[in-house]
Amino acid sequence: MIEDLRTLVEIESPSRDIEALTASAEAVAAVIAKRLGGTATLVESAAGPHVRWSGGGEPRVLILGHHDTVFPIGTLERRPFAVADGRVTGPGVFDMLGGLVQAIHGLAALDDLTGVEILVTADEETGSHELRALIEERARACGAVLVFEGAADGGGLKIGRKGCGTFEVVVKGRASHAGLEPEAGVNALIEAAHQVLDIVAIGRPESGTTVTPTVASAGTGSNVVPAEARVVVDVRVESAAEKARVEAAFAALSPRLDGAEITVLGGIHRPPMPESAAASLFAVAEELLPGVEGVAVGGGSDGNFTAALGIPTLDGLGAVGGGAHADHEYLLVDSMVERANLVTGLVRAVVSGK
Protein backbone atom coordinates (compact mmCIF):
# COMPACT_ATOMS: atom_id res chain seq x y z
CA MET A 1 0.00 0.00 0.00
CA ILE A 2 2.80 2.42 0.82
CA GLU A 3 4.44 1.91 -2.57
CA ASP A 4 1.14 2.44 -4.40
CA LEU A 5 0.57 5.57 -2.32
CA ARG A 6 4.03 6.82 -3.24
CA THR A 7 3.19 6.32 -6.92
CA LEU A 8 0.05 8.47 -6.65
CA VAL A 9 1.48 11.19 -4.42
CA GLU A 10 4.53 11.71 -6.62
CA ILE A 11 2.28 12.64 -9.54
CA GLU A 12 0.98 16.03 -8.40
CA SER A 13 -2.70 16.65 -9.17
CA PRO A 14 -3.94 20.14 -8.32
CA SER A 15 -7.55 20.85 -9.23
CA ARG A 16 -8.09 22.54 -12.62
CA ASP A 17 -4.64 21.57 -13.94
CA ILE A 18 -5.78 19.35 -16.80
CA GLU A 19 -2.32 18.10 -17.77
CA ALA A 20 -1.46 17.13 -14.19
CA LEU A 21 -4.87 15.58 -13.58
CA THR A 22 -4.56 13.52 -16.75
CA ALA A 23 -1.28 12.03 -15.53
CA SER A 24 -2.82 11.44 -12.12
CA ALA A 25 -5.91 9.74 -13.55
CA GLU A 26 -3.74 7.44 -15.66
CA ALA A 27 -1.77 6.49 -12.55
CA VAL A 28 -4.93 5.78 -10.54
CA ALA A 29 -6.31 3.68 -13.39
CA ALA A 30 -3.05 1.72 -13.59
CA VAL A 31 -3.04 0.96 -9.85
CA ILE A 32 -6.67 -0.19 -10.01
CA ALA A 33 -6.01 -2.43 -12.98
CA LYS A 34 -2.85 -3.86 -11.41
CA ARG A 35 -4.52 -4.73 -8.11
CA LEU A 36 -8.07 -5.61 -9.25
CA GLY A 37 -7.73 -6.68 -12.87
CA GLY A 38 -9.96 -5.52 -15.69
CA THR A 39 -9.75 -2.07 -17.21
CA ALA A 40 -10.21 1.27 -15.50
CA THR A 41 -11.50 3.82 -18.00
CA LEU A 42 -10.96 7.57 -18.08
CA VAL A 43 -14.04 9.79 -18.32
CA GLU A 44 -13.03 13.06 -19.92
CA SER A 45 -14.49 16.34 -18.69
CA ALA A 46 -13.79 20.05 -18.68
CA ALA A 47 -12.39 19.61 -15.15
CA GLY A 48 -10.03 16.81 -16.11
CA PRO A 49 -10.40 13.04 -16.42
CA HIS A 50 -12.29 10.96 -13.88
CA VAL A 51 -11.68 7.24 -13.40
CA ARG A 52 -14.30 4.45 -13.55
CA TRP A 53 -13.98 0.72 -12.92
CA SER A 54 -16.53 -2.05 -12.60
CA GLY A 55 -16.36 -5.62 -11.37
CA GLY A 56 -19.33 -6.46 -13.59
CA GLY A 57 -22.71 -7.92 -12.80
CA GLU A 58 -25.58 -6.14 -11.06
CA PRO A 59 -24.19 -3.00 -9.34
CA ARG A 60 -24.47 -3.19 -5.55
CA VAL A 61 -21.92 -0.77 -4.06
CA LEU A 62 -20.18 2.38 -5.27
CA ILE A 63 -16.65 3.14 -4.05
CA LEU A 64 -16.36 6.92 -4.27
CA GLY A 65 -13.26 9.10 -4.11
CA HIS A 66 -11.28 11.83 -5.85
CA HIS A 67 -7.73 12.20 -7.13
CA ASP A 68 -7.48 15.99 -7.30
CA THR A 69 -5.71 17.83 -4.46
CA VAL A 70 -5.51 21.43 -3.27
CA PHE A 71 -1.72 21.68 -3.54
CA PRO A 72 -0.08 23.54 -6.47
CA ILE A 73 2.62 22.06 -8.65
CA GLY A 74 5.93 22.35 -6.84
CA THR A 75 4.60 21.35 -3.42
CA LEU A 76 6.16 17.90 -3.80
CA GLU A 77 9.64 19.37 -4.19
CA ARG A 78 9.21 21.31 -0.97
CA ARG A 79 7.40 18.53 0.89
CA PRO A 80 8.33 15.18 -0.71
CA PHE A 81 6.71 11.84 -0.01
CA ALA A 82 8.24 10.35 3.13
CA VAL A 83 7.66 7.59 5.66
CA ALA A 84 9.07 8.19 9.14
CA ASP A 85 8.08 7.57 12.76
CA GLY A 86 4.93 5.73 11.76
CA ARG A 87 3.65 8.52 9.54
CA VAL A 88 3.40 9.04 5.79
CA THR A 89 3.70 12.65 4.66
CA GLY A 90 3.41 14.38 1.31
CA PRO A 91 0.79 16.36 -0.60
CA GLY A 92 -2.53 14.52 -0.69
CA VAL A 93 -1.65 11.54 1.51
CA PHE A 94 -4.61 12.21 3.83
CA ASP A 95 -6.98 14.00 1.44
CA MET A 96 -7.43 11.62 -0.12
CA LEU A 97 -4.93 9.46 -1.96
CA GLY A 98 -4.34 7.28 1.09
CA GLY A 99 -8.04 6.44 1.16
CA LEU A 100 -7.99 5.43 -2.49
CA VAL A 101 -5.08 3.07 -1.93
CA GLN A 102 -6.69 1.48 1.13
CA ALA A 103 -9.95 1.00 -0.77
CA ILE A 104 -8.21 -0.67 -3.71
CA HIS A 105 -6.23 -3.04 -1.49
CA GLY A 106 -9.30 -3.82 0.60
CA LEU A 107 -11.16 -4.80 -2.56
CA ALA A 108 -8.18 -6.85 -3.76
CA ALA A 109 -8.66 -9.15 -0.74
CA LEU A 110 -12.07 -10.23 -2.07
CA ASP A 111 -12.35 -13.33 -4.25
CA ASP A 112 -15.28 -11.92 -6.20
CA LEU A 113 -15.74 -8.25 -7.13
CA THR A 114 -19.03 -8.68 -8.94
CA GLY A 115 -21.33 -5.77 -8.13
CA VAL A 116 -18.53 -3.37 -7.16
CA GLU A 117 -18.05 -0.04 -8.93
CA ILE A 118 -15.33 2.55 -8.43
CA LEU A 119 -15.65 6.22 -9.36
CA VAL A 120 -12.71 8.56 -8.73
CA THR A 121 -13.44 12.19 -9.61
CA ALA A 122 -11.13 14.98 -10.72
CA ASP A 123 -12.96 18.01 -9.32
CA GLU A 124 -14.16 17.20 -5.79
CA GLU A 125 -12.04 19.96 -4.27
CA THR A 126 -13.76 22.53 -6.50
CA GLY A 127 -17.34 21.31 -6.02
CA SER A 128 -17.74 18.28 -8.33
CA HIS A 129 -19.74 20.36 -10.77
CA GLU A 130 -18.69 18.29 -13.78
CA LEU A 131 -19.56 14.86 -12.42
CA ARG A 132 -22.41 15.36 -9.95
CA ALA A 133 -24.98 13.89 -12.33
CA LEU A 134 -22.89 10.75 -12.92
CA ILE A 135 -22.19 10.35 -9.20
CA GLU A 136 -25.91 10.47 -8.47
CA GLU A 137 -26.73 8.14 -11.36
CA ARG A 138 -24.27 5.47 -10.26
CA ALA A 139 -25.26 5.82 -6.61
CA ARG A 140 -28.90 5.18 -7.52
CA ALA A 141 -27.87 2.19 -9.61
CA CYS A 142 -25.70 0.70 -6.86
CA GLY A 143 -27.90 1.43 -3.86
CA ALA A 144 -25.02 1.92 -1.38
CA VAL A 145 -22.04 4.28 -1.32
CA LEU A 146 -18.72 4.09 0.54
CA VAL A 147 -16.74 7.35 0.52
CA PHE A 148 -12.99 7.28 1.13
CA GLU A 149 -12.35 10.76 2.39
CA GLY A 150 -10.01 10.96 5.38
CA ALA A 151 -11.32 9.78 8.74
CA ALA A 152 -12.54 12.15 11.43
CA ASP A 153 -10.25 13.02 14.33
CA GLY A 154 -9.25 9.88 16.18
CA GLY A 155 -10.24 7.64 13.27
CA GLY A 156 -13.99 8.14 13.47
CA LEU A 157 -16.24 7.51 10.48
CA LYS A 158 -18.23 10.41 9.08
CA ILE A 159 -21.95 9.77 9.42
CA GLY A 160 -23.17 13.33 8.77
CA ARG A 161 -21.95 16.41 6.97
CA LYS A 162 -23.15 19.96 6.66
CA GLY A 163 -24.36 21.23 3.34
CA CYS A 164 -21.92 23.77 1.99
CA GLY A 165 -21.53 26.33 -0.71
CA THR A 166 -20.05 29.64 -1.74
CA PHE A 167 -21.84 32.87 -2.56
CA GLU A 168 -20.34 35.91 -4.25
CA VAL A 169 -22.05 39.26 -3.75
CA VAL A 170 -21.16 41.72 -6.52
CA VAL A 171 -21.79 45.40 -5.80
CA LYS A 172 -21.98 47.90 -8.64
CA GLY A 173 -21.54 51.61 -7.86
CA ARG A 174 -20.33 54.57 -9.88
CA ALA A 175 -16.80 55.92 -10.08
CA SER A 176 -15.89 59.54 -9.50
CA HIS A 177 -12.89 61.57 -8.36
CA ALA A 178 -12.42 61.00 -4.64
CA GLY A 179 -11.09 64.55 -4.11
CA LEU A 180 -12.92 66.73 -6.61
CA GLU A 181 -16.44 65.29 -6.50
CA PRO A 182 -16.84 62.23 -4.29
CA GLU A 183 -20.54 63.00 -4.00
CA ALA A 184 -20.94 62.33 -7.73
CA GLY A 185 -20.01 58.69 -7.24
CA VAL A 186 -21.72 55.71 -5.66
CA ASN A 187 -19.19 54.09 -3.37
CA ALA A 188 -19.34 50.35 -3.91
CA LEU A 189 -16.99 49.74 -0.98
CA ILE A 190 -19.31 51.49 1.48
CA GLU A 191 -22.24 49.52 0.06
CA ALA A 192 -20.24 46.30 0.42
CA ALA A 193 -19.56 47.17 4.08
CA HIS A 194 -23.30 47.43 4.69
CA GLN A 195 -23.84 44.14 2.89
CA VAL A 196 -21.19 42.31 4.93
CA LEU A 197 -23.07 43.15 8.13
CA ASP A 198 -26.36 42.02 6.57
CA ILE A 199 -24.72 38.82 5.32
CA VAL A 200 -23.25 37.91 8.72
CA ALA A 201 -26.71 38.36 10.26
CA ILE A 202 -28.01 35.50 8.08
CA GLY A 203 -26.02 32.99 10.12
CA ARG A 204 -27.65 30.96 12.89
CA PRO A 205 -24.85 29.21 14.79
CA GLU A 206 -27.36 27.80 17.26
CA SER A 207 -28.91 25.88 14.34
CA GLY A 208 -25.56 24.85 12.89
CA THR A 209 -25.65 27.51 10.17
CA THR A 210 -22.45 29.48 9.62
CA VAL A 211 -22.22 32.36 7.15
CA THR A 212 -18.65 33.63 6.90
CA PRO A 213 -17.37 36.39 4.57
CA THR A 214 -13.92 35.21 3.51
CA VAL A 215 -12.62 37.31 0.60
CA ALA A 216 -13.34 40.92 -0.40
CA SER A 217 -12.06 43.22 -3.12
CA ALA A 218 -12.90 46.76 -4.22
CA GLY A 219 -11.58 49.77 -6.03
CA THR A 220 -8.99 50.62 -8.65
CA GLY A 221 -7.06 53.56 -7.20
CA SER A 222 -6.57 55.55 -4.01
CA ASN A 223 -8.20 58.66 -5.51
CA VAL A 224 -11.17 56.95 -7.20
CA VAL A 225 -14.55 56.26 -5.63
CA PRO A 226 -14.89 52.47 -6.12
CA ALA A 227 -17.30 51.47 -8.86
CA GLU A 228 -17.30 47.76 -7.94
CA ALA A 229 -16.79 45.55 -4.93
CA ARG A 230 -17.03 41.80 -4.44
CA VAL A 231 -17.53 39.75 -1.31
CA VAL A 232 -17.09 35.95 -1.21
CA VAL A 233 -18.99 34.09 1.51
CA ASP A 234 -18.60 30.52 2.82
CA VAL A 235 -21.89 28.95 4.01
CA ARG A 236 -22.50 25.72 5.98
CA VAL A 237 -25.95 24.37 6.95
CA GLU A 238 -27.19 21.25 8.75
CA SER A 239 -30.67 20.95 7.28
CA ALA A 240 -32.57 21.34 4.02
CA ALA A 241 -34.79 23.94 5.69
CA GLU A 242 -31.77 26.07 6.55
CA LYS A 243 -30.45 25.68 3.01
CA ALA A 244 -33.69 27.10 1.65
CA ARG A 245 -33.77 29.92 4.22
CA VAL A 246 -30.17 30.99 3.59
CA GLU A 247 -30.56 30.95 -0.18
CA ALA A 248 -33.73 33.05 0.12
CA ALA A 249 -31.96 35.50 2.44
CA PHE A 250 -29.13 36.01 -0.04
CA ALA A 251 -31.63 36.51 -2.84
CA ALA A 252 -33.37 39.19 -0.74
CA LEU A 253 -30.25 41.30 -0.13
CA SER A 254 -30.93 44.87 -1.24
CA PRO A 255 -28.70 47.96 -1.60
CA ARG A 256 -28.55 50.63 1.09
CA LEU A 257 -27.11 53.43 -1.09
CA ASP A 258 -29.07 55.17 -3.83
CA GLY A 259 -27.76 54.09 -7.21
CA ALA A 260 -26.01 50.94 -5.99
CA GLU A 261 -26.83 47.57 -7.50
CA ILE A 262 -26.33 44.08 -6.08
CA THR A 263 -25.97 40.74 -7.86
CA VAL A 264 -25.72 37.46 -5.93
CA LEU A 265 -23.88 34.54 -7.53
CA GLY A 266 -23.35 30.99 -6.35
CA GLY A 267 -25.34 28.98 -3.84
CA ILE A 268 -25.29 25.93 -1.57
CA HIS A 269 -24.31 23.29 -4.11
CA ARG A 270 -23.69 20.41 -1.70
CA PRO A 271 -26.84 19.54 0.26
CA PRO A 272 -26.59 18.38 3.87
CA MET A 273 -25.71 14.72 4.48
CA PRO A 274 -28.25 13.49 7.06
CA GLU A 275 -27.07 11.00 9.66
CA SER A 276 -29.99 8.74 8.78
CA ALA A 277 -28.33 7.92 5.45
CA ALA A 278 -25.33 6.38 7.22
CA ALA A 279 -27.22 4.37 9.85
CA SER A 280 -27.39 0.95 8.18
CA LEU A 281 -23.81 0.97 6.88
CA PHE A 282 -22.40 2.34 10.13
CA ALA A 283 -24.07 -0.51 12.02
CA VAL A 284 -22.11 -2.96 9.86
CA ALA A 285 -18.89 -0.99 10.41
CA GLU A 286 -19.42 -1.15 14.18
CA GLU A 287 -19.63 -4.93 14.01
CA LEU A 288 -16.46 -5.11 11.92
CA LEU A 289 -14.52 -2.54 13.94
CA PRO A 290 -15.92 -2.46 17.50
CA GLY A 291 -15.53 0.88 19.21
CA VAL A 292 -15.32 2.95 16.04
CA GLU A 293 -17.08 6.28 16.46
CA GLY A 294 -19.53 7.97 14.12
CA VAL A 295 -19.01 11.72 13.81
CA ALA A 296 -20.91 14.55 12.10
CA VAL A 297 -18.56 17.12 10.55
CA GLY A 298 -18.74 20.52 8.91
CA GLY A 299 -16.88 19.82 5.66
CA GLY A 300 -18.59 18.54 2.54
CA SER A 301 -17.81 15.69 0.14
CA ASP A 302 -19.37 13.89 -2.80
CA GLY A 303 -21.15 11.80 -0.19
CA ASN A 304 -23.42 14.79 0.42
CA PHE A 305 -24.96 14.30 -3.02
CA THR A 306 -25.67 10.61 -2.58
CA ALA A 307 -26.92 10.82 1.01
CA ALA A 308 -29.30 13.65 0.10
CA LEU A 309 -30.95 11.24 -2.35
CA GLY A 310 -31.66 8.86 0.53
CA ILE A 311 -29.03 6.35 -0.62
CA PRO A 312 -27.15 4.64 2.24
CA THR A 313 -23.81 6.46 2.42
CA LEU A 314 -20.89 6.07 4.82
CA ASP A 315 -18.01 8.55 4.69
CA GLY A 316 -14.61 8.98 6.33
CA LEU A 317 -13.48 5.47 5.41
CA GLY A 318 -10.12 6.68 4.15
CA ALA A 319 -6.83 7.49 5.82
CA VAL A 320 -6.49 7.92 9.56
CA GLY A 321 -4.33 10.97 10.14
CA GLY A 322 -4.88 14.69 9.87
CA GLY A 323 -3.83 18.03 8.45
CA ALA A 324 -6.12 18.06 5.41
CA HIS A 325 -5.16 20.96 3.07
CA ALA A 326 -2.21 21.86 5.31
CA ASP A 327 1.55 21.44 5.16
CA HIS A 328 1.52 19.08 8.15
CA GLU A 329 -0.84 16.61 6.41
CA TYR A 330 -0.10 13.03 7.44
CA LEU A 331 -1.36 9.45 7.42
CA LEU A 332 -0.80 6.90 10.22
CA VAL A 333 0.84 3.78 8.83
CA ASP A 334 -0.47 1.46 11.56
CA SER A 335 -4.08 2.20 10.56
CA MET A 336 -3.73 1.27 6.89
CA VAL A 337 -4.25 -2.48 7.18
CA GLU A 338 -7.13 -2.11 9.63
CA ARG A 339 -8.92 0.30 7.28
CA ALA A 340 -8.28 -1.89 4.24
CA ASN A 341 -9.76 -4.83 6.14
CA LEU A 342 -12.79 -2.68 7.00
CA VAL A 343 -13.31 -2.09 3.27
CA THR A 344 -13.19 -5.83 2.65
CA GLY A 345 -15.79 -6.55 5.31
CA LEU A 346 -18.14 -3.72 4.37
CA VAL A 347 -18.14 -4.55 0.67
CA ARG A 348 -18.61 -8.26 1.36
CA ALA A 349 -21.59 -7.49 3.61
CA VAL A 350 -23.23 -5.08 1.14
CA VAL A 351 -22.74 -7.24 -1.95
CA SER A 352 -24.02 -10.35 -0.17
CA GLY A 353 -27.10 -8.52 1.08
CA LYS A 354 -26.22 -9.05 4.73
Out of 17, 117, 123, 124, the active site residue is 124
pLDDT at 59 over 90: yes
By the 8 A CB rule, do 173 and 229 touch? yes
By the 8 A CB rule, do 4 and 105 touch? yes
Out of 17, 68, 242, 329, the active site residue is 68
Q: How confident is the model at residue 144, as a pLDDT?
A: 98
Give the separation between CA 295 and CA 289, rounded to whole angstroms.
15
CA angle 143, 144, 147 (to 5 degrees): 145
Q: How confident is the model at residue 354, as a pLDDT?
A: 78
- Tell whether domain 2-160+273-352 is in CATH 3.40.50.740: no
What are 161-213's pLDDT values in tens digits? 999 999 999 999 999 999 999 999 999 999 999 999 999 999 999 999 999 99
pLDDT at 229 over 90: yes
Positive or negative: CA dihedral 128, 96, 303, 313: positive
Is 124 tagged catalytic? yes
Domain residue spans of the chain: 2-160+273-352, 163-270
In angstroms, how far is CA 200 from the centroid of its own chain? 24
Question: Do 2-160+273-352 and 163-270 come out as alike in CATH topology?
Answer: no
Give the separation between CA 328 and CA 191, rounded to whole angstroms.
39
Is 68 tagged catalytic? yes
Give the separation between CA 121 and CA 102, rounded to whole angstroms.
17
What are 271-329's pLDDT values in tens digits? 999 999 999 999 999 999 999 999 999 989 999 999 999 999 999 999 999 999 999 99
- Tell whether domain 163-270 is in CATH 3.40.50.1970: no
Give the separation between CA 187 and CA 6, rounded to whole angstroms.
53
Give the separation between CA 67 and CA 74, rounded to whole angstroms.
17
Give the separation between CA 47 and CA 42, rounded to whole angstroms.
12
